[in-house]
Amino acid sequence: MTDVRAPETDPFDSAGTERDGRRPEGPVSPAAGTLGLTDWLKWAWRQLTSMRIALVLLFLLALGSVPGSMLPQQGSDPAGVAQYYTSHPALAPLLNHLGLFDVFGAPWFAAIYLLLFASLVGCVVPRTFRLAGSARTLPPRAPRNLARLPVSAEYAAALAPAGAVEVAARVLSGHGFRLRRPAEPDDAGTGSWLSAEKGYLREAGNLVFHLALLGVLVSVALGGLFGYKADRLLVQGTSFADTQSALDEFYPGRLVTAADLPPFTITLNSFDASYISSGPQRGQPSSFDAQVSYTASPGGPVRTDRIEVNRPLSVDGAKVYLIGHGYAPEFKVTDARGQVVYDGAQPFISGTTGNFLSEGVLKVSGAEPEQLGFSGVFVPTAVDIDGTLESVFPAADNPVVSLIAYAGNLGMNTGPSQSVYQMNTAGMKRLTPDPQLLLVGQSLKLPDGQGTITFTGYRQWVSLTITHDPGQLPALVCGMAALGGLLLSFLVRRRRVFVRARASQQGSTVQVGGLTRTDASGAFSEEFASLAAELRSAHQRAAQDQGAPPHVQAAPIRQEGE
Amino acid sequence: MSRALLLRAPALRAPALRAGRRTVVLAAAVSAGVLLIVGLAAGWASGGHSNVTYVDGSDSAVLYAAGHRPLAPDFSGTTLTGSRLSFSSYRGNVVVLNFWGSWCVPCREEASTLASVAALYRSSGVAFLGVDVRDTTASALAFTRSFGISYPSVTDPSSAITLDFTSVVPIAGTPTTLVIDRTGHIAGAVFGSATYPELTAILAKVTGKAAAEAVSR
Amino acid sequence: MAVNLALGHASNDFLIAALVIYSLAVVAFAGDFAFGRPRRAGAAGGVQARQRAAALATIGASGVATAAPAGGQDAGVQDAIDQDAGQPEGAAGAGDGGRADSMPEPAVPAFRAIRLAGPWVRAGVALSSAGVTAHLVAVILRGFAVHRAPWGNMYEFVTALTCVAAMFFLFVMIRYRAWALGVFVVGAVVVALGLAETLIYTAAGNLVPALQSYWLSIHVTAMTLATGIFFVAAVLGAVYLIVDSYDRRVAAGRAEPGHGIVRRLPTTEQLDRLTYRTIVFGFPVWTFGVIAGAIWADQAWGRYWGWDPVETWAFITWVLYAAFLHARATAGWRGRRAHYIQLLGFASLMFNILVVQVFVTGLHSYAGVG
């Protein structure tokens, strides 16, 4: 009995499922004595590239990502990390030491995915060789009794066996099968046979998928090296040029210098935010729209455009995103000497209340003889609720500013740089015991002739993020390639079709059999059924062409299986 | 997962020749890849230019060797008092160009130094000029009053002038002070708050006059 | 655009109707367990048992190297899962090896098979179909009410994904004659929908600007589809574990074969293969959803991947399902362990939707709950 799996050629499923750290064949020569270093290294490599270790590494990758989602991460939420330190003073340094506040940049996380990719490469490269090799090896010989295959069919044809096989060869190669024919006729005189194989794309798709994942990793690395991200807050009516000293934050990639920033200039002409004014979603924003004009380089033509959420501005290789917005109330401050020492807009930052109740400070460092400072709250639509001022709608329908005034030393003359949104009142005395409310146009006269502050109006500001990521497009291409490879490896099946023709009274009896790899579905049976029908009609046509009697005893196609 | 995974000794067998050759190829490819990555990741070191030397005792003040001084771009703008000013009118003088802002703490630290050095070198033909970045006029004027800054400053609210200069010298933040020689080339720079020794050392190099000489003049 | 409240209410009414109809379907399927015609699910496909040499079972169409099915009936059952036993094929039919005198029986078409399965199954399938229809109408009406794809907040997402799960299962159930699984899957859909209605209901409304993008349709649609498919796979995996435990107890001699509900359920191989097929279907959709999400994130937030908590958990889910696919190709990890992995993957998916999106702050917090 011929075993369908012809052992002398590549077993059907050698390319896949049995790789778990052991080769299925190979001479084992146990030797007495010690194991050398190379043996251990080979063993380690074989373990690394085994499916089992790949599985373990996948688990570790998933597990390692969990703290990155639960703990605040330094890169995206530095304030949260600081907060964690204050609320967990004992635990936080330990977590920091383990790298848990920057999981995805931590060395241990990198070790996991680098090992996983090493395992991937170590598995994929030999399989690529093997695929190339199997693309050169021929399909196995046709088994003797095709009826034992999962799907088979048998019918009579009015052709000599050799001719029948010839016709079958034409049909099958027309369908893209690779063929193998006997070098010499079968010794048992049972006629001719033919093996056909198709579906190498499955393994190719599998390899493309895994290599594309590697490509994604490389693209991410590219972005990390050559990309950058920068933030800038821009008040309505002002502009900024894209240079490092004009940016609020600049996060360059490792190989990026400030000279790589594209030299555009953007002016925020206007910013409109509209909110839903009635119904259950009152107060929710319905649209944001920033009107800007920009030049791609100094002296270049001025263009206007809109930046909206989901619609960044593309300038010279960088993209400018609208991330957030807020209010910047305008003040005019006169000091004790009667000089106007401040006249402009100061951005206030809104909290999480959702109606844009915003807080901020105003540090008037030029006031004489004493510096002045104000800490304030801007309420866009102010309503007095039980003695507290609340904002009930995010649009500035009834803007009110509440101020507390200080005089003294702001601590700005020496020391590290200070945030413009924070004020250190340690060296100052409070001038107003209670917060003072001002409507637009109203002034607050400070006690002891210290000066005056007038709330002159308000403007809006937007926060922009400028990014450049050269790895973005490669990552997308690799992602789509991975998807394509995945679909190929799932949809394409490697299958074999065998044809045997034995001499008979009418000419020959043709047997066709088919075999497919794991997880066969009905699709192969359908394909086989149509192939068998096509072969049969091809044989009939060929018989007619040869002048055979028109009516051959046409036994119905008997098909085993579906 | 079985413990046997970790304890199983490597199988002792004669390796197939094909596998051996493939292993060699793979090892070579991996090594090459690692070397490439290490090389890229290490980056190329910046600096090491022999044309830029640090001022003695400073890590933020530099001098550019003669012949390797970047050309300062021309600019014009409005001063804090509202008049027009063009940088080209300073050609022929040594100019100390100081990028500052009233909101900036290190700028306040260096302000009196700048004022006094300006006074010191005025008679030697050194002009001081400020570029007031990201600021508003009232605050800026208050700043100059506070520190006795009498030299003019051009406003640069959009950092456009800064952008122009950043293309020739790496201005990373505020304050930055540039010393421009008589031919309009940048001879020295202080990245950060400028101290008296740094500023005078650069000016001595550029004007040929030490601070003491400048006074006696 | 103003929300059409009338359509919103109508959508909700249809959803309640669907819930009720599904519940009745679950009762019908349960009734089939208790009172229905005794058979092993899947054999109702009517495929003629084949005579196969034992050796053939190992190279057979399944290729899964688990214990060979015991006996001819199971071989036929295997075919019912493997092959398109439902559709009548031209000249095809079961037959045995080359003997001239055996004629195959034609395969039983789907609706006849349903009729043959008994009144309880008929009722169950009919009710499930009616429920799916009402569910689909509810989802569509919600879309018309809000003038956009109806999966913009968590409530809408859950209703949509359960609709996908129900439709997918309906297809699987009819194609593979898997009515025994109806109790479990439709029951799970009922529970999910019920929880959605009671705990996270959100009235129809507009979206915040960050979500006003056509990528919403693409990314969230893909995630909805994939989640619905994984939902079915998870239920099948749970059933697999039940049947496998029972088989082990039988093998250990601690239980008698042929007892209880389990005798009505498919074999572990069939369940395993069905689950594998389901996940094979869902995994590329999930992958595509992650890619589409990255494209959208780049447009909205300036970076295509930022390890935002929801992004991270989507990644974890992807890795776990990838681990499942690898496990099925690794000796010692097939079978029970692989299904643990798959269920872990689904758990991470649910954790992502229900906990991370709601409680963990990040850019993704648009669940619209509360």
pLDDT number for residue C52? 25
How does B107-137 read in b/e, with b if 16+ C-beta sit within 10 Å?
bbbbbebbbebbebbeebebbbbbbbbbbbb
Nearest residue to C59 via CA among A75, A373, A520, A483? A520
pLDDT at A1 over 80: no
Q: Considering CB atoms only, which of A309, A517, A557 is closest to C63?
A: A517
pLDDT number for residue C7? 86
Nearest residue to C163 via CA among C195, C124, C198, C128? C128
Q: Cis link prior to A263 (omega < 30° from 0)?
A: no
Strands (E), chain C: none
Phi, psi of A118 (to 5 degrees): -65, -45
| Any B CB within 8 A of A240 CB | yes
pLDDT number for residue A255? 87
Contacts of C296 in chain A (CB under 8 A): 310
Q: State the nearest Cα–Cα gap between B215 and chain A, in angstroms.
A: 28
Best residue in C304, C320, C357, C369 for a mutation probing chain A (most A CBs within 10 Å): C304
Q: What is the DSSP letter of A351?
A: -
Summarize pLDDT for A470-501 with one digit per residue, the tens.
999 999 999 999 999 999 988 888 888 999 88
Hey, are the CB atoms on A29 and B13 less than 8 Å from each other? yes
pLDDT number for residue B78? 95
Best residue in A316, A365, A409 for a mutation probing chain B (most B CBs within 10 Å): A365
Q: CA C281 to CA C229: how far, in whole Å? A: 8
| Any A CB within 8 A of B48 CB | no
Residues C113, C52 contacting (CB under 8 angstroms) = no
Q: Considering CB atoms only, which of A276, A520, A523 is closest to C206?
A: A276
Alpha helices, DSSP H, located in A137-182: 161-174
CA A400 to chain centre: 44
Please name the chains neighbouring C, where neighbouring means 3+ C-beta pairs under 8 angstroms.
Answer: A
Q: State the nearest Cα–Cα gap between B105 and chain A, in angstroms.
A: 5
Q: CA B94 to CA B110: how far, in whole Å? A: 20
Contacts of C330 in chain A (CB under 8 A): 20, 51-52, 55
- Tell me if the pTM is above 0.90: no
Q: By mean pLDDT, which of A165-169, A523-527, B129-133, C87-91 is the weakest?
A: C87-91
pLDDT number for residue A285? 79
Q: Which two tokens stand for residue A24?
A: 């299925």
Contacts of B102 in chain A (CB under 8 A): 365-366
Hey, are the CB atoms on B174 and A31 less than 8 Å from each other? no
Residues A357, A370 contacting (CB under 8 angstroms) = no
Q: Considering CB atoms only, which of A45, A265, A366 is closest to B158?
A: A265
Q: Considering CB atoms only, which of A28, A125, A243 is closest to B26?
A: A125
Hey, are the CB atoms on C302 and A319 less than 8 Å from each other? yes
pLDDT number for residue C96? 31
Q: Label residue B214 exposed, middle or buried (CB < 10 Å: 0-12, 13-18, 19+).
A: buried
Q: What is the DSSP letter of C51?
A: P
pLDDT at A4 over 50: no
Contacts of A19 in chain C (CB under 8 A): 329
Q: Label residue A101 exposed, middle or buried (CB < 10 Å: 0-12, 13-18, 19+).
A: buried
Q: Where do the structural domains in chain C lie, given as residue ranges?
A: 5-35+121-359
Q: Label residue C261 exposed, middle or buried (CB < 10 Å: 0-12, 13-18, 19+).
A: middle
pLDDT number for residue C47? 28
Phi, psi of A360 (to 5 degrees): -170, 175
Contacts of B101 in chain A (CB under 8 A): none
Chain C, nearest residue to A279 by Cα: C205
Q: Which amino acid is at C169?
A: F
pLDDT number for residue A518? 60
Angle between helix C268-301 and helix C214-251 axes, rounded to 10 deg: 160
pLDDT under 70 in chain C at which residues?
1, 38-108, 152, 203-212, 216, 258-260, 361-370
Instruction: Looking at mean pLDDT, say which of A126-140, A353-367, A470-484, C47-61 comes out highest.
Output: A470-484
Q: CA C69 to CA C76: how far, in whole Å? A: 10
Rounded average pLDDT over A353-364: 87
pLDDT number for residue C90? 28
Neighbours of A240 (CB within 10 A): 26
Radius of gyration of chain B (CA): 28
| Any A CB within 8 A of C313 CB | yes
Restricting to B residues 140-169, those with a Cβ less than 8 Å away from any Cβ of A are 141-143, 145-146, 157-160, 162-164, 166-167
* DSSP β-ladder status, B61-64 and B186-191: antiparallel
Hey, are the CB atoms on C319 and A308 less than 8 Å from each other? no
Contacts of A59 in chain C (CB under 8 A): 323
| Any A CB within 8 A of C293 CB | no
Contacts of A296 in chain B (CB under 8 A): none
Q: Considering CB atoms only, which of B46, B103, B138 is closest to A341?
A: B138
pLDDT number for residue B22? 64
Strands (E), C167-283: none
Q: What percent of chain A has pLDDT over 90?
A: 32
Chain A, nearest residue to C299 by Cα: A310
Residues C148, C182 contacting (CB under 8 angstroms) = no
pLDDT band at A438 (very low <50, low <70, confident <90, very high): very high
| Any B CB within 8 A of A366 CB | yes
Chain B, nearest residue to A368 by Cα: B146
Q: CA A227 to CA A522: how far, in whole Å? A: 49
Which residue, chain included where needed, has tokens 């907040």? C153
* Helix, strand or coil, per DSSP, at residue A466: strand
CA A220 to chain centre: 9
Contacts of A415 in chain B (CB under 8 A): 105
Through-space distance between the first and last CA atoms of chain B, rounded to whole angstroms: 87
| Any B CB within 8 A of A130 CB | no
> Strand order of the sheet with strand B94-100?
B52-54, B61-64, B186-191, B176-180, B94-100, B126-133, B153-156
For residue A7, the number of C-alpha atoms closer than 13 Å in the C-beta half-sphere is: 4
**Cβ-based neighbours of C287, under 8 Å, separated by 6 or more:** A482, A483, A486, C318
Restricting to C residues 142-201, those with a Cβ less than 8 Å away from any Cβ of A are none
Q: CA A223 to CA C162: how far, in whole Å? A: 38
Instruction: Looking at mean pLDDT, say which of A83-97, A542-556, B78-92, B196-210 comes out highest.
Output: B78-92
Best residue in C214, C281, C305 for a mutation probing chain A (most A CBs within 10 Å): C305
pLDDT number for residue C208? 67
**Cβ-based neighbours of B185, under 8 Å, separated by 6 or more:** B64, B69, B70, B71, B72
pLDDT number for residue C361? 63
Residues C279, C321 contacting (CB under 8 angstroms) = yes
CA C277 to chain centre: 10
Q: What is the DSSP letter of C245?
A: H
| Any B CB within 8 A of A255 CB | yes
> Strand order of the sheet with strand A239-241?
A239-241, A265-275, A285-295, A302-307
| Any A CB within 8 A of B12 CB | yes
Contacts of B16 in chain A (CB under 8 A): 26
pLDDT number for residue B175? 94
Summarize pLDDT for A497-529 with one digit per residue, the tens.
999 888 888 788 888 888 887 644 556 777 888
- A-B C-beta contacts closer than 8 Å: 160
| Any B CB within 8 A of A258 CB | yes
**Cβ-based neighbours of A68, under 8 Å, separated by 6 or more:** A100, A103, A104, A109, C307, C312
Q: CA C276 to CA C268: how far, in whole Å? A: 12
pLDDT at A313 over 60: yes
Contacts of A225 in chain B (CB under 8 A): 40-41
Q: Considering CB atoms only, which of A22, A258, A368 is closest to B170?
A: A258
pLDDT at B15 over 80: no
Best residue in A467, A519, A553, A557 for a mutation probing chain C (most C CBs within 10 Å): A519
Chain B, nearest residue to A234 by Cα: B158
Q: Considering CB atoms only, which of C56, C87, C208 is closest to A285?
A: C208
pLDDT band at A201 (very low <50, low <70, confident <90, very high): confident
Q: CA A253 to CA A272: how far, in whole Å? A: 33
Nearest residue to B101 via CA among B115, B86, B90, B111? B111
| Any A CB within 8 A of B103 CB | yes
Contacts of C313 in chain A (CB under 8 A): 65, 69
A283 against C160, higher pLDDT: C160
pLDDT number for residue C108? 66
Residues A524, A514 contacting (CB under 8 angstroms) = yes
Instruction: For each of the domains in chain A, give its residue range(s) and CATH number, in order of start.
Output: 37-136 (no CATH), 146-198+493-560 (3.30.160.110), 214-324+465-481 (no CATH), 329-460 (no CATH)
Sign of the torsion formed by the C-alpha atoms of C36, C37, C42 and C44: negative
Rounded average pLDDT over B23-29: 68
For residue A29, the number of C-alpha atoms closer than 13 Å in the C-beta half-sphere is: 6
Q: Considering CB atoms only, which of C79, C98, C284 is closest to A490?
A: C284
Contacts of C83 in chain A (CB under 8 A): 520-522, 525, 561-562
- A-C C-beta contacts closer than 8 Å: 219
Contacts of A37 in chain B (CB under 8 A): none
| Any B CB within 8 A of A341 CB | yes
Residues C5, C204 contacting (CB under 8 angstroms) = yes
pLDDT number for residue A14? 39
Q: What is the DSSP letter of A398?
A: B
Contacts of C96 in chain A (CB under 8 A): 560
